[in-house]
Chains A and B, each alone.
Chain A
Amino acid sequence: KNQVEQSPQSLIILEGKNCTLQCNYTVSPFSNLRWYKQDTGRGPVSLTIMTFSENTKSNGRYTATLDADTKQSSLHITASQLSDSASYICVVTLHMEYGNKLVFGAGTILRVKS
């Protein structure tokens, strides 16, 4: 069964600290893995997209890693800010003959406190 599991479910950190979110997947055949940030009441916004051959990708203070052998990904947030408080969703794309089929993780809710 195609599944994406994220941990932890929720996380509280102090402003300025770093944190790492985890994503494990069993999706096959794999096409790419994405991390999204979703603020409350809004649509998800893409942070990074990585294909099978990419190990790491950065977007400002966000750095995603991918280990396609162990089917694990992580999202590292450096020097967290209050505005980082959001849900972070790991999404794996199934390789389809036509179009996209995305499998979503349940998300990690991050709260950054001052």
Chain B
Amino acid sequence: KAGVTQTPRYLIKTRGQQVTLSCSPISGHRSVSWYQQTPGQGLQFLFEYFSETQRNKGNFPGRFSGRQFSNSRSEMNVSTLELGDSALYLCASSAPLAGGPNEQFFGPGTRLTVL
């Protein structure tokens, strides 16, 4: 079974630009979550999508948005980029374990550098 894939793996943008990151979950997984990871803040939850609906959201400004398509693929968009947006952006897909909590599987991440 193929894992979670994210594209692109690396991206360099300048301040003020916008960026779109893509995530393809594991086949059959309907939940996709996005996270930002920086050396200073660690991993922080951005939002979670399930069946094309955002069902949870972290504490990030409105410049960060996302969506999920009918095939469960998800995109994340950051507008008006700031230097502080430089980070590793991770996507995770999940499916319920039998009788237990959801198991989350992470992709390799997209390394975004804002100059």
Say whether A and B bind each other: yes
Q: Which residues of A contact B (CB under 8 A)?
A: 31-32, 34, 36, 41-46, 49, 51, 89, 91, 93, 96, 98-107
Nearest Cβ on chain A to B112's Cβ, whole angstroms? 14
Give B72-111 interface residues, CB cut-off 8 Å to A: 90, 92, 94, 97, 100-109, 111
Chain A to chain B contacts (Cβ below 8 Å), 29 pairs = A31-B101, A32-B101, A34-B104, A36-B106, A41-B108, A41-B109, A42-B108, A43-B4, A43-B107, A46-B105, A49-B97, A49-B101, A49-B103, A51-B101, A89-B42, A91-B43, A98-B56, A99-B31, A99-B55, A99-B56, A100-B31, A100-B33, A100-B94, A101-B56, A101-B58, A102-B33, A102-B45, A102-B104, A104-B35
Nearest Cβ on chain B to A83's Cβ, whole angstroms? 18
Closest chain A residue, CB of each to CB of B104 = A46
For residue B4, which residues in chain A have a CB less than 8 angstroms away from its CB?
43
